[in-house]
């Protein structure tokens, strides 16, 4: 009922309602499996942007699971990694009425953050916030996720592509690129970015990301970790 009510308000307003994102995100957290850290040599990606869902993108939805209970494609999870071990920032498409934050992915631990809230808090759009504020906010997010026994998944498939995110014990550097201005082909070409920091996986995804690119990104991080060990 809450999801439908919130969706109706967003459709009517044509924008994202942060309050709805918080209420429904926390409701989804109640259904999440307990988070457990996963092995350092295993990573996974959960696509959560509503625009990525086949029924929204005009793709073939027949064999896809329900959007409010399952990841789009469960085979994208790495073997041996319980879905509940993710700590998710639900991002993507926040400039459209199809904001993903209200969708209750019951297998995902939800932190109470959404992409819209992240943008509001650190001033991603139209101008980045001062570095100190970005460091504080992102540092808190990572701390919250680590304290919950989860690893981190961040996604943003909206207009602003979050790039060059570097996290160290002392600082966070953050650069924002307006992807549609800088890379107009992103609306039609697959694109992904992955960062791995202290076994925390940070993913930035565009609408057109497909399973091939996801698999390639996962393989790249796994290979890099194996080379360092």
36-45, 116-125, 149-158: which range is least confident on average? 36-45
Please give the model's pTM, rounded to 2 decimal places.
0.30
Domain ranges of the chain: 2-228
Asked if residue 35 lies in contact with residue 84, where contact means CB atoms within 8 angstroms, the answer is yes
* Residue bearing tokens 């070409």: 189
Question: Residue 147: is its pLDDT beyond 50?
Answer: yes
What pLDDT was estimated at residue 138?
52
Q: Which of 193, 186, 191 is nearest to 153 (CA)?
A: 193
For residue 228, name the pLDDT band (cuts at 50, 70, 90): low
For residue 142, name the pLDDT band (cuts at 50, 70, 90): low
Give, as one character, the DSSP assignment of residue 188.
Answer: T
Distance from C-alpha of 105 to C-alpha of 175, rounded to nearest angstrom: 29
HSE at residue 157, side-chain half, CA atoms within 13 A, is 29
> What's the whole-number average pLDDT of the chain?
37
* Residue bearing tokens 């107009």: 184
């Amino acid at each position: 009922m809450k999801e439908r009510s919130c969706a109706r308000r967003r459709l009517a307003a044509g924008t994202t309602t942060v309050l709805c994102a918080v209420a429904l995100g926390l409701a989804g957290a109640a259904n999440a499996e307990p988070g457990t850290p996963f092995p350092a040599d295993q990573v996974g990606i959960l696509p959560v942007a509503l625009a990525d869902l086949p029924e929204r993108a005009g793709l073939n939805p027949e064999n896809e699971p329900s959007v409010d209970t399952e990841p789009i494609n469960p085979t994208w999870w790495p073997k041996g990694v319980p879905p509940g071990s993710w700590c998710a920032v639900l991002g993507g498409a926040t400039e459209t009425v199809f904001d993903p934050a209200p969708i209750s992915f019951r297998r995902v631990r939800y932190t109470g953050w959404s992409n819209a809230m992240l943008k509001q808090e650190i001033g991603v759009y139209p101008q980045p916030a001062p570095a100190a504020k970005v460091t504080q906010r992102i540092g808190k997010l990572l701390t919250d996720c680590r304290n919950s026994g989860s690893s981190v998944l961040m996604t943003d498939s909206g207009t602003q592509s979050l790039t060059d995110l570097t996290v160290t014990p002392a600082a966070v550097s953050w650069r924002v690129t307006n992807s549609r201005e800088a890379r107009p082909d992103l609306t039609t070409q697959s694109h992904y970015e992955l960062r791995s920091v202290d076994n925390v996986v940070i993913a930035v995804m565009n609408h057109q990301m497909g399973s091939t690119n996801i698999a390639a990104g996962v393989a790249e991080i796994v290979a890099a970790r194996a080379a360092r060990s």
